[in-house]
Amino acid sequence: MAQVIKLNPPNISEATIRSLKKGDIVSITGTIITGRDVAHKYLEDHFISKDKPTESEIPVLEDLKQYTQGGIIYHCGPVVAEDNGEYKFLAAGPTTSIREEPYEYDVMKLLGLRGVIGKGGMGPKTLKACMDLGGVYLHAIGGAATLIAQNVKKVKGVIKKDFGTPEAFWIIEVEDFETVVTMDSHGESLHDVIQKQSEKKLLELFETL
């Protein structure tokens, strides 16, 4: 049985991340944030493309960095219930990550992230970010939204709720959230391996026709 490696975000060290290899199973217990399309575009527009953010936005970045320095962002558009000001995740499945490919390098650098969770993998720009910055891409199980929600033990807060529930930054405490390293800090991508194997198999099938 494969060894399960435990990560406790935030404040994961670069050395810990660089010790991980493609195919490693990782169990996450700690505080992470969610963020997908609107969140990434917001960070790009307000903090990355601009020479200087507006004063009203600086506290947002400071709030985020409490949880992202050495931390993990989860590409997730959750279903969330609210009861007397308390939030609970009802569904927490991963979003297809490739949509964030144009932004992820800069977002990882801006927020000091060590990990990105999603599904479907990402492209060369994000793989380079993992190599340059000391990060990993972690694949979560698609189609298991309600199951993953059981690993969300507490919703600690929400930033930019005005983006709407699926697009806001949710600060969540997770326990035993299992993922697989599919892109590591050494330039290895399981997604590339599978794609090449699939292309080879497809060519073999065509040759038999």
Q: Is 40 a catalytic residue?
A: yes
The one catalytic residue in 40, 75, 139, 191 is 40
pLDDT digits (tens, 9 = 90+) for 134-152: 999 999 998 899 999 999 9
pLDDT at 51 over 80: no
pLDDT at 202 over 60: no
Q: How many domains does the chain have?
A: 1
pLDDT given at position 143: 86
Query: What are the tokens at 138?
Result: 């972690």
Containing structural domain, residue 169: 4-207
Report the CATH number that the domain containing residue 69 is assigned in CATH: 3.20.130.10
69 closest CA partner among 13, 137, 141: 13
Instruction: Check: CB of residue 152 under 8 Å from CB of residue 174.
Output: yes
pTM value is: 0.92
